[in-house]
Structure 1
Amino acid sequence: MNAQQHPAPALRAEDRPARLSVGVVGTGRVGSALAAALRLAGHRPVAASGVSDASRRRAAALLPGVPLVGPAEVLARADLVLLTVPDDALPGLVAGLAETGAVRQGQLLVHTSGRYGAAVLEPATRAGGLPLALHPAMTFSGTQVDVERLAGCSFGVTAPEELRLAAEALVIEMGGEPEWIEEEARPLYHAALAIGANHLVTLVAQSLELLRSAGVSAPDRMLGPLLGAALDNALRSGDAALTGPVARGDAGTVAAHITELRAHAPHAVAGYLAMARTTADRALAHGLLKPELAEDLLGVLSAPQPPAPGPAGGGGEPGGGDDGNDGDRGGEQ
């Protein structure tokens, strides 16, 4: 069921959160922005915790005057607590807070992990806490612009049925659009966002790099209009927006691409082949790629690839490996 089935005007006054004191455990990019948005909605941030210097600077910028204290003290001061830490740290944090008696009866506990639903808050729920999972489908920069970007941003919402309207009301107060996600669908939901957002950054960065290698002086200016149009077309038309040599079945052009990448950017070959195969499969399934052209194309994409050149004397090519939240993550994909 989606958010449109629970529009803002339908929320009764008694379902809307009262003005709440707000605490933040993990003042990364997400937690700071959400607390700032709740302040604009009339709630009152009263305490925050953050470990890194970057988190502390961010809290000072987005939550001026809010004292930085330990996590237990944040819970002691706040009616609503944002638990905005990395996904892998969330279960341990919740368990620890519950075991030490930090959770109060009737206290709203909100995490912003895309991966988890409300079940990860079960230890706190047993201690009397009210569990909400509110994941903003947005990437965050750690600046004031994040608060502005929340306007119209979709939030993946998961909560017990009796807290559903309250959870959706909080999202609306932050300027967002609630989208209900069932508990068991959270990992798939988050994987979908990661494919769309995180992998997009990798693809764009690689494209910029290759254009520079080809001598393009302003690759960002070249890619901007192209990618903007491609994204708009994809959102409007899905697979029908596919264009390019793979969707057309131009096997010779694709072979030339692979040859050039192998010579000038061997690290990009594997990604090109993986995406081209996926594109070919989707184009074929949707009738864009003619079956009589698909055989040659798939043959090119399946041809054995020579090993990537290593450093002088043999050996493999060295590889390289942010959560982008200074260790205090829990909202972006």
Structure 2
Amino acid sequence: MTTPFAPAGAGSSFGAAPRLDVGVVSAGRVGSVVGAALDRAGHRVTAVSGSSPESLRRAAELLPEAVIRTPEEVAADAQLLLLAVPDTALPELAERLPFRRGQIVLHTSGSHGAEVLRPAIDAGALAAAAHPAMTFLGTRADLDRLDGLPWAVTAFDEAALIAEALVSETGGHAEHVAEAQRTRYHAALAHASNHLATLVNDARGLLADAGISDAPHYLRQLTFAALDNALALGDDALTGPVVRGDAATVAAHLDAVGSDLRPVYAALAERTADRARAAGRLEERSARAVKDTLDGARTGEARR
């Protein structure tokens, strides 16, 4: 099978890669930015799909030389086809697009591996999953954030090397994730990013209720330091009343946060206690006092 990439000598994945005609389905936040990154790397985005006003605006800003076409038309002509659609839309899309032999097909879904592109593989295309570990705004500011970014690549045989080379061209580096581990991988990222945003926004609301006029400013240094410490130190970065075994303060917090946040606070406090105890940061007796307080809050909530 011939491919647009020619293998280089030992110690290098590929020699000089040719300029490829790229098609993007669709011009969402991810597709428009990754398409622009490939364009910046020397490839040429010739066509993109999109119908919403937001997609058309992003395409005009980030992919100005690309023409707007249907997904089927984009796929028919692209040498490199980028599928940047929601996870749930990808299987159906993969079933109906006109793939061909020698075509390179990448999707950016976090939860799917390469197997979802089986129709492309069966048609002779080189298919891979390549998920960038970043949240996107869909603006030019995202392009600079791609430098040094890890991408989760899942592919078979030669397609893995091609995906690795393309990721490198955008400024990122590939981390290979097994097909069977894609859902676990994606859950980790969603837990870290989506739930972090929810926690911070809940904290903003509590601070506003407490009379803090600029909650984002108040939280910025605290949350940035907590994140940096957790990434550097793991469970040694845990602080606060749970790790100190201060059950009385935990009980006061549960009363103060209100009924909407109480179950969330209790669940996270229990998980914090479990991690602190396993890491040797919290004695069994203190852990039990915290757990009893949390159990009491749940019982009281159920009675109400």
User: TM-score scaled to structure 2, two decimals?
Assistant: 0.93
Q: Which structure 2 residues correspond to residues 246-285 of structure 1 after superposition, within 5 A? A: 246-261=242-257, 265-285=258-278
CA distance in 1, matches of 2:160, 2:22: 19
Matched, 1:292 2:285: yes
Per-residue CA deviation, residues 51-78 of structure 1 (Å, 9 max, x unaligned), is 2111111111111121100111111221
Select the structure with the greater relative contact order (CA < 8 A; seq sep ≥ 6). 1
Per-residue CA deviation, residues 282-309 of structure 1 (Å, 9 max, x unaligned), is 0011111111211111100111132598
* AA in 2 matched with 1:268: L
Structure 1 gap segments, 5+ residues each: 1-8, 310-333
* AA in 1 matched with 2:26: G
Q: What does residue 4 of structure 2 align with?
A: none
Are the aligned partners of 2:94 and 2:117 in contact in 1 as well (CA < 8 Å)?
A: yes
Matched, 1:305 2:300: yes
State the Cα RMSD in Å: 1.4
Are the aligned partners of 1:24 and 1:49 in contact in 2 as well (CA < 8 Å)?
A: yes
Are the aligned partners of 1:38 and 1:173 in contact in 2 as well (CA < 8 Å)?
A: yes
Q: What does residue 323 of structure 1 align with?
A: none
Q: What does residue 44 of structure 1 align with?
A: 44
Q: Which secondary structure state, in structure 2, belongs to the residue aligned with residue 267 of structure 1?
A: coil
Q: Which structure 2 residues correspond to residues 1-80 of structure 1 after superposition, within 5 A? A: 10-14=11-15, 17-80=17-80
Are the aligned partners of 2:13 and 2:165 in contact in 1 as well (CA < 8 Å)?
A: no
* AA in 2 matched with 1:65: E
Q: Which secondary structure state, in structure 2, belongs to the residue aligned with residue 208 of structure 1?
A: helix
User: TM-score scaled to structure 1, two decimals?
Assistant: 0.85
Q: Which secondary structure state, in structure 1, belongs to the residue aligned with residue 113 of structure 2?
A: coil
CA distance in 2, matches of 1:230, 1:206: 16
Per-residue CA deviation, residues 158-192 of structure 1 (Å, 9 max, x unaligned), is 11122222111100100111111011111100001
Q: What does residue 191 of structure 1 align with?
A: 187
Q: Which structure 2 residues correspond to residues 178-217 of structure 1 after superposition, within 5 A? A: 178-217=174-213
Are the aligned partners of 1:154 and 1:179 in contact in 2 as well (CA < 8 Å)?
A: yes
- Per the TM alignment, residue 143 of structure 1 is displaced from its structure 2 partner at its CA by 0.6
Q: Mean Cα displacement is larger for which, 188-197 or 286-295?
A: 286-295
Say if 1:308 and 1:89 are closer, same or farther in 2 by CA, change over 3 A. farther
Per-residue CA deviation, residues 125-184 of structure 1 (Å, 9 max, x unaligned), is 111211111000000001101111111111001111222221111001001111110111
How many residues get paired?
Answer: 293
- Per the TM alignment, residue 281 of structure 1 is displaced from its structure 2 partner at its CA by 0.4
Are the aligned partners of 1:11 and 1:169 in contact in 2 as well (CA < 8 Å)?
A: no
Per-residue CA deviation, residues 3-28 of structure 1 (Å, 9 max, x unaligned), is xxxxxx943444x6421100001110
CA distance in 2, matches of 1:59, 1:271: 40
CA distance in 2, matches of 1:281, 1:138: 29
Structure 2 gap segments, 5+ residues each: 1-9
